[in-house]
């Protein structure tokens, strides 16, 4: 009977493996590993390629530096793209934003395009609960392939910032940012009367709009989160708080929800140690109900919170099998069904006693 139960469990794991989205992980945070994790996706960039980043509000912000992203940009022959901000500062107008880009050195490694420098355009949203369309930079139409390259960190308004924020607020034109922030109330101010959840749900709808735009024939999009300099503050903060935990790694996927979910699990599963405290970042995410964006994005059909976490540190790119990942490369983040952390980026589930768990975003039963 025990053997039968084990076989049933093994079969259910196999089915789950097919249903979950692949998220590739490397603990190395180098220009070379950034290229490797992109290549692990097995998606060939075609046509005009855009790499969407944040250029950072000040030199003290934790934005991804030009020397770090240079190899990826060069490898893909990409243009670095951004949009102007909706709040006061040096990046709220094209001319001053370009000055910042020059100061940061981004223009030394590639062409840089402020996508709303010549206006905006409207793209459709599938979910019209709050916003009825998405207002993006008009230059988005010039690109066939996008690499959404996000610095994963905390965020004062969204709780956290990953690829979903980089794709919604980040790709929106200045007026579009206001429209998302106010959950459809205004295109001229970022202050509205709607709730926090309505803002997060508007971000999810806008992220889905951009994803769908790049899933048209002849276009495509992929996603990368870099988990370094994990401050509670966004790169839009000119004086961010110092990170209180060590760098974690780089993760990539073709599914933005699975990717952000895997990053969140690595934060919530992080084991505290002297001088290494994840709690401030966890508190920031929790206080702003930050995880709601991935829950809602899954609900409206953007992707799944269930993922295979695949460690590529000790294998070559040519050894990666997107359809049937090598079991030796699989890693697991495990919680009890009431949210208690059990395993962090573990290599095996053998230590788990019988019970019901949330394993990489999916409820599963362990029978021994």
Domain that holds residue 196: 22-305
Q: Which tokens go with 219?
A: 């276009």
Q: What is the CATH number of the domain that holds 270?
A: 3.40.50
Give tens-digit pLDDT for 158-185: 999 999 999 999 999 999 999 999 999 9
Does residue 334 lie within any of the structural domains?
no
Does residue 367 lie within any of the structural domains?
no
Q: What is the mean pLDDT of the chain?
A: 93
User: Can you give the pLDDT at residue 347?
Assistant: 93
User: Can you give the pLDDT at residue 15?
Assistant: 39
Does residue 2 lie within any of the structural domains?
no
DSSP state of 332: E
Give tens-digit pLDDT for 96-155: 999 999 999 999 999 999 999 999 999 999 999 999 999 999 999 999 999 999 999 999
- The count of structural domains within the chain is 1
Helical packing angle, 31-40 and 66-76, nearest 10°: 40
Does residue 16 lie within any of the structural domains?
no
Residue given tokens 């106010």 in the structure block: 182
The CA-based diameter of the chain, rounded to the nearest angstrom, is: 71
Q: Which tokens go with 257?
A: 């929800």
Q: Which tokens go with 305?
A: 């919170």
Task: Give the confidence band of 89 by pLDDT, cuts at 50, 70, 90.
Answer: confident
Does residue 362 lie within any of the structural domains?
no
DSSP state of 142: G
Question: CA 348 → CA 304, 309, 327, distances in Å?
Answer: 23, 12, 9
């Amino acid at each position: 009977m025990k053997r039968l139960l084990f076989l049933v469990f093994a079969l259910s794991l196999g089915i789950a493996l097919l249903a979950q989205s692949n998220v590739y992980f490397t603990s190395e945070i180098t220009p070379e590993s950034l290229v490797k994790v992109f290549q692990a996706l097995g998606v060939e960039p075609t046509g005009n390629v855009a790499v969407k980043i944040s250029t950072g509000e000040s030199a003290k912000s934790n934005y991804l530096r030009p020397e770090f992203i240079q190899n990826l940009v060069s490898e893909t022959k990409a243009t670095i793209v951004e949009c102007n901000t909706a709040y006061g500062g040096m990046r709220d107008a094209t001319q001053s934003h370009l000055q910042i880009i020059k100061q940061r050195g981004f223009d030394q490694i590639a062409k840089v395009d402020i996508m709303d420098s010549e206006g905006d355009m409207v793209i459709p949203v599938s979910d019209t609960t709050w916003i009825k369309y998405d207002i993006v930079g008009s230059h988005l139409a010039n690109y066939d392939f996008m690499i959404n390259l996000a610095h994963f960190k905390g965020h004062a308004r969204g709780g956290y910032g990953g690829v979903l924020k980089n794709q919604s607020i980040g790709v929106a034109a200045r007026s579009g940012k206001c429209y998302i922030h106010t959950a459809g109330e205004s295109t001229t101010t970022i202050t509205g009367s709607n709730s926090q959840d309505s803002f997060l749900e508007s971000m999810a709808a806008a992220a889905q709009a951009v994803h769908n735009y790049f899933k048209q024939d002849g276009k495509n999009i992929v996603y990368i989160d870099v988990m370094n300099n994990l401050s509670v503050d966004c790169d839009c903060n000119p004086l961010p708080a110092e990170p209180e935990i060590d760098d974690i790694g780089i993760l990539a996927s073709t599914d933005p929800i699975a990717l952000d979910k895997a990053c969140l699990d690595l934060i919530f599963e992080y084991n505290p140690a002297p001088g290494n405290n994840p709690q401030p970042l966890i508190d920031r995410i929790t206080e702003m109900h930050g995880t709601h964006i991935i829950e809602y994005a899954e609900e409206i059909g953007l992707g799944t919170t269930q993922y295979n976490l695949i460690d590529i540190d000790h294998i070559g790119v040519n050894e990666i099998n997107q359809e049937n990942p090598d079991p030796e490369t699989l890693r697991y983040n495990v919680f009890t069904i009431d949210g208690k952390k059990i395993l962090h980026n573990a290599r095996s589930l053998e230590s788990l006693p019988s019970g019901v768990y949330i394993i990489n975003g999916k409820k599963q039963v362990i029978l021994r």
